Amino acid sequence: MINLVPRKEIPLRLTLMTTGIAVALTLVAGAGIFAILGYDPLAALYQFFIAPVSRGYQIADLFVKACPLIIIASGLVFSYRANVWNIGAEGQMIFGALFSGYVALYWGGMPAPLLLPVMILAGMLGGLVWAMIPAILKTRFNTNEILVSLMLTYVAALFIDWTVRGPWRDPMSFGFPLTPMYPDAGLISKVDLPGVGRLAQLHWGVVGALLLAVVAWFVLRHTMVGFQVKVMGDAPRAGRFAGFRPALVTILVLSISGGAAGLAGMVEVSANIGQLQPNISFGYGFTAIIVAFLARLNPMAVIIAGLVVALAEMGGDAAQIAMGIPKVVTGVFKGILLFMLLAGETFNRYHVEFRLPGAAARAAAKEGSGA
Amino acid sequence: MNGSPSPPEPALSTPLLAASGIFKHFGDFTANDDVSFQIEEGEIHALLGENGAGKSTFVKMVYGLLQPDAGSLEWRGEQIAIRSPQHARDLGIGMVFQHFSLFQALTVAENIALALPGDESLEDLAARVRQMSTDYGIGVDPDARIHNLSVGEQQRVEIVRCLLQDPSLLIMDEPTSVLTPQETTQLFEVLRRFSENGVAILFISHKLEEIRSLTRRATVLRRGRNVGTVDSASKSSKQLAEMMVGGSVGDIDRQARPDSEPDILFEVRGLDRPPTTAFATPLRGLSFAARAGEILGIAGIAGNGQDELMEALTGEWTGRGRDVIRIDGRDVTADGPARRRQCGIGFVPEERNGHAAVPGMTLADNALLTSHSLGGTVGRGVIDSAACREMAAAVSRDFDVRLPQDNPMASALSGGNLQKFVVGREISKRPKVFIVSQPTWGVDVGAALFIRRAMLELAEAGSAVVMISQDLEEIFAISHRVAVLHDGVISTPMVTAEVTAETVGLLMGGSMPLDGAPDMDKGEAGDTA
């Protein structure tokens, strides 16, 4: 007999342990898959997790890759803590890129120091606007935010495709679906420290992302906004009793997570691409969901989780180049990781008891006769 | 009592059921710890104990729902293992649960047919039900549909269903918790008739007066252990309570309500609330007022609008109109809970877990839950966690909340301790008005006493207390005035000292027009003028 007994408290040590075991089991399962596919498992794991960071500049790249994941996941944490399931960060990211792109392309003439700040605000606004659709539909008509936010992602992807092929296309692009390049004032510059010089592709957006995660942690942990979010997620009835309004909290967390995703879209384009194109994201909005859960919905841990997941992404490229392992294996890896994490969550919440039928009775009988 | 009480000596004949040395563990928790117990044929035997003392666990083993980890059961002198409820029924053990399992849309006869083996025709069955109904004076109409029956009537259907299987032992789990005093009296008459016909009844309760009036012997469980089988009638309620608790139980004295008419601190005038779901009770034209220095009890059977009323009072639901709800003269009809608290009101809803408190959060966070709008805990949106922790510690100290560790999660506290915390959290703010629903539901005797004292002290200090309670003993123990909520309508409040439990019981059952109630007693309603 196996009994699951709910734990009254979840010690931090246990959470760290189950997370570690989940990652380890993911590696074991991954090695098994490589072996089945006919690759040397150890060499493949090396390509996946060590080769991508074996040189200094690659570590900078790792941070660049993790940047959008950290920004988006920092926002998603609020949503998931409140039990609001925003699955559409990918679409919100695209709209952040679109809004900020509009500012860069059509209002680029404004005083140079203003352009980036306005683009940042526009990016956040774009993601927020796109997240408001599921927010309003949920609070007004009680629709399911998972479905609505997910489906809107495809709408957003098609919309940006249309804009860059149609109205916003650069007439000089020789028919390629690209907008003109952003003006220089609209680009996020690389980190270039006096005395140190440039750190490969490391840009100021990465620094912003790290700061954002810290701010998110503070807000969630130490402010009334965070308290409301946590209470509504844990015990909505107690939240109403406290005087919090469920609809407002839903709108709030979708604003935060949408705004963060929009910001990520703006940063990604302004720092790495420099113009809008049909694909600006490569699934960051979805991958960030895994990051948020790997971090156990703690924004501080999102930084580490973002780096780990970014490493797996880069490893997928490295393994493909070095060993010809198909890139889709990266997706399998991510899936296994999420599965292991969720399974680990069961062990966090419940204490497992193994009992042979009758064994307990015998033990008790012994106790009883002794008494 | 039926006849004179006989001594609690075991009879010479073999007992109907004898349990010895029963153990049952759930994880680290020992629910039954060496429980031994005997019941004679035709005996009405009480199983008494606080919530969590192991009563339900024990009877579930007798009914085959659980298997003991150790110990033996003897049925008519033969050692047996009761494998399943079906096996129990075959042996002649029937059980009426606290929560009924009846199909609302079907008739009484149809419901009973579903539970019986064989393919007796509905007509034959209906005839048997009618026969039994007249034999025992149960009053069950086989053709009635369940949803038209009162809770007491539904319970009788459950009893008839058990009886048709001709049991020699009938187990009843807290049968009176859903009944009015009148229904309880009727139930007891029926049970006594069964007993005369040789059916033994194992009656589980924690209501001491009932046990003393109905049963011959009582077995008392405390923390899973049998602390003795006693002659029920020879012990006072207080002695039984002390056996249950394992220590001395104090008394509380309600002070007489002041003769003058102090200020009205809380007033509800014409509160209407349409039903929000198909199962909600609409509130219709509720009006009452609570004055400084008094506890106003609102009695009623569960499901008569208590939840809806509490939500309307806390502000979790807000209606339209003006001056429907006033705190110390201030109109709060349109305000939510946070704003109402700012006016000096404290609330404790019925459900501790997930409504009054967040189980997965610390006591400091739970202190913040109802004080964030009052200042001192939050500055510019940033939580002062030291202040919250201090507040939680002060409440725990002043209200005798026993903590397993410093600032634990709410879920780590026992029911009684958590209830003391959520009550203390509000009372320590010295609210002008304190509104509480089922303040001692599912709480051990010691904690219940503590909570009731705290409410009386608050009232003596000049606050107004509104207490919604299903527990008539509680209403009569501490409330100065009592109003009855029935089917979403409230009676005019009556002075508790001047009404009888029968009057209140009739109102609870809806057998009297609510506004006609005060005339039945010579007691004057406090606010009719």
Give the ipTM of the model, two decimals please. 0.83
| Residues β-bridged to residue B170 | B94, B201
- In the predicted model, what is the mean pLDDT of residues A301-319? 89
| Burial status of residue B469 (CB atoms within 10 A of its CB: 0-12, 13-18, 19 or more) | buried
Question: Is the distance from CB of B526 to CB of B495 less than 8 angstroms?
Answer: yes
Q: Which residues of B117-135 are buried (b: 16+ CB within 10 A; e: fewer)?
A: eeeeeeeebbebbeebbee
CB proximity A370 to B under 8 Å: no
DSSP three-state, residue B510: coil
Query: Nearest 5°: phi and psi at A170?
Result: -70, 120
Residues of chain A with C-beta less than 8 angstroms from the C-beta of B26: 5
CATH 1.10.3470 in chain A: give the residue spans.
67-318
Q: How close A221 gets to chain B, by Cα (Å)?
A: 9
**CB contact, 8 Å: B1 with chain A?**
no
With H, G, I as helix, E, B as strand and everything else as coil, classify residue A3: strand
Q: What is the pLDDT along chain B (529 residues), one digit of tens a residue?
A: 444 444 444 445 788 999 999 998 877 778 888 999 899 988 999 998 877 788 888 998 999 888 999 999 999 988 999 988 889 988 999 998 877 778 888 889 888 888 777 778 888 889 988 888 887 777 788 888 888 787 778 888 888 888 888 889 999 888 877 677 777 888 888 889 889 988 999 998 877 778 888 888 999 988 888 888 888 878 887 788 788 877 666 666 666 666 677 889 999 999 999 987 766 789 999 999 999 999 999 998 877 889 899 999 999 999 888 889 999 989 999 999 999 999 999 999 998 889 999 998 999 999 999 999 998 889 889 999 999 999 999 999 999 888 888 899 898 887 888 999 999 999 999 999 999 999 988 777 778 888 999 999 999 999 999 999 988 888 888 999 999 998 899 999 999 888 888 888 888 877 665 554 444 443 333 443 3
Contacts B361 to A, Cβ<8 Å: 230-231, 234
Closest Cα in chain B, distance from residue A134 (Å): 24
Residue A231 has pLDDT above 50, yes or no: yes
CA-nearest residue to B339 within chain A is A243
Name the A residues in 324-353 with CB < 8 Å from any B CB: 351, 353
Of the partner residues B70, B373, B378, the one whose CB lies closest to the CB of residue A368: B70
Q: Are residues A315 and A48 in contact, defined by beta-carbon separation less than 8 angstroms?
A: yes
Residue B87 to residues A260, A298, A339, B80, B93, Cα–Cα distance (Å): 62, 52, 43, 11, 9
- Domain B17-245 in CATH 3.40.50.11290: no
Three-state DSSP class for residue A309: helix
Task: Tell me, yes or no, if B385 comes closer than 8 A to chain A by beta carbon.
Answer: yes
From B164's Cα to the closest Cα of chain A, the distance in A is 35
Q: What is the pLDDT of residue B512?
A: 61
Q: What is the C-alpha separation between B33 and A368, in angstroms, rounded?
A: 8
Model confidence pLDDT, tens digit, residues B207-263 = 777 888 888 899 998 888 888 888 887 888 778 878 887 766 666 666 666 667 788
A9 interaction partners in chain B (CB closer than 8 Å)? 408-409, 411-412
Chain B touched by A243 (CB under 8 Å)? yes
Among residues B36, B15, B34, B17, which one has the least CA distance to residue B25?
Answer: B34
- What is the mean predicted confidence (pLDDT) over A254-266? 97
**Is the CB of residue A38 less than 8 Å away from at least one CB of chain B?**
no
**For residue B62, what are the contacts with CB-CB under 8 A and spacing of at least 6?**
B17, B19, B73, B82, B88, B93, B171, B202
Is the Cβ of B233 closer than 8 Å to some Cβ of chain A?
no
B264-356+428-520 has CATH 3.90.780.10 classification? no
Q: Which amino acid is at A347?
A: F
A10/A95: higher pLDDT: A95
Which residues in chain A touch residue B354, judged by CB atoms under 8 angstroms apart?
Answer: 235, 237-238
CB–CB of A225 and B373 under 8 A?
A: no
State whether residue A238 sits within 8 Å of chain B by CB.
yes
- Give the one of A234, A243, A363 whose C-beta lies nearest to B338's C-beta: A243
| Contact criterion met (CB < 8 Å) for A367 and B23 | yes
**Weakest-pLDDT range from A141-155, A205-219, A336-350:** A336-350
Which one is predicted more confidently, A350 or B451? Answer: B451
Ordered alpha helix ranges (H), B315-438: 337-342, 363-369, 385-398, 415-427
> Computed over its alpha carbons, how large is the radius of gyration of chain B?
25
Residue A52 has pLDDT above 60, yes or no: yes
Distance CA A200, CA A187 (A): 16
Say whether residue A363 is in contact with chain B using an 8 A CB cutoff.
yes
Q: Which residues of A97-106 are buried (b: 16+ CB within 10 A; e: fewer)?
A: bbbbbbbbbe
Per CATH, B17-245 and B264-356+428-520 having the same topology is answered: yes
B300 interfacial to chain A (CB closer than 8 Å): no
Tens of pLDDT along B322-364? Answer: 889 999 989 999 999 999 999 999 999 998 889 999 998 999 9
Neighbours of B382 (CB within 10 A): 14
Task: Report pLDDT for B249.
Answer: 63
Q: So what's the pLDDT on residue B384?
A: 94
**Contact: B355, A241; criterion CB under 8 Å:** yes
Cα-Cα end-to-end distance for chain B: 43
Distance between CA atoms of residues B97 and B109, nearest Å: 19
**In the prediction, which pLDDT does A91 show?**
97
Tokens 């967390």 belong to A253
Domain ranges of chain B: 17-245, 264-356+428-520
Mean pLDDT of chain A: 89
For chain A, say whether B356 makes contact (Cβ under 8 Å).
yes
A223, A231, A371: residue with CB nearest B381: A223
Of A8-12, A291-295, B37-41, B54-58, where does mean pLDDT reach its minimum?
A8-12
Q: In angstroms, rounded to a whole number, what is the distance separating the alpha carbons of residues A130 and A113? A: 27
* pLDDT over 70 percentage in chain A: 95
B 55-94 near A (Cβ less than 8 A)? 67-71
Supply the pLDDT for residue A356.
57
CB contact set of A78 (below 8 Å; sequence gap of 6+): A216, A220, A226, A229, A252, A253, A256, A257
User: Residue B259 has what pLDDT?
Assistant: 64
Task: Give the CA-trace dihedral at B100, B101, B105, B110, to 10 degrees.
Answer: -110
**Cβ separation B408–A9 shorter than 8 A:** yes
Locate the DSSP E strands across A106-225.
Answer: 190-193, 197-203
CA B406 to chain CA centroid, nearest Å: 31
Q: In the predicted model, what is the mean pLDDT of residues A318-339?
A: 84
Q: With contacts defined as CB-CB under 8 Å, which chain A residues touch B408?
A: 9
Is the CB of residue B5 less than 8 Å away from at least one CB of chain A? no
Q: Are strands B481-486 and B494-495 parallel, antiparallel or unpaired?
A: antiparallel
Domain A67-318 has CATH 1.10.3470: yes
Other C-beta atoms closer than 10 Å to the C-beta of A339 total 14
Asked if A227 lies within 8 A of B383 by C-beta distance, the reply is: yes
**Number of DSSP helices (H) and strands (E) in chain A, helices first:** 14, 4
* Residue B521: per-residue pLDDT: 40
Helices B108-115, B122-136: inter-axial angle, 10-degree rounding: 100
Please tell me if residue A230 touches chain B, with a CB cutoff of 8 Å.
yes
B70 chain-A contacts, CB cut-off 8 A? 361, 364-365, 367-368
Q: Is the pLDDT of residue A141 over 90?
A: yes
User: Which residues 6+ apart lie within 8 Å of B134 measured at CB?
Assistant: none
Q: Confirm or reject contact between B381 and chain A (CB < 8 A).
A: yes
Residue A204 contacts residue A191 (beta carbons within 8 Å): yes
The pLDDT of residue A351 is 81
Residue B272's φ and ψ, nearest 5 degrees, are: -120, 140
The identity of residue B182, as a single letter, is Q
Mutate which: B20, B22, B23, vs A, most A CBs within 10 A = B23
Any A CB within 8 A of B406 CB = no
Kindly tell me if the per-residue pLDDT of A302 is higher than 60: yes
CA distance A235 to chain B (A): 5
Q: Is-contact B161 B114, C-beta < 8 A?
A: no
The structure tokens 């459900």 sit at B351
Query: Residue B355: its pLDDT value, please?
Result: 93
Angle B404-B407-B411 (CA atoms, 0-180°, nearest 5)?
65
Strand partners, B467: B297, B436
Give the angle subtended at the CA of A322 by the CAs of A316 and A325, to the nearest 5°.
50
Cβ separation A235–B69 shorter than 8 A: no
What pLDDT, in 10s, does the model give residues B399-415? 988 888 889 989 888 78
Chain A CB contacts of B381 under 8 Å are 223-225
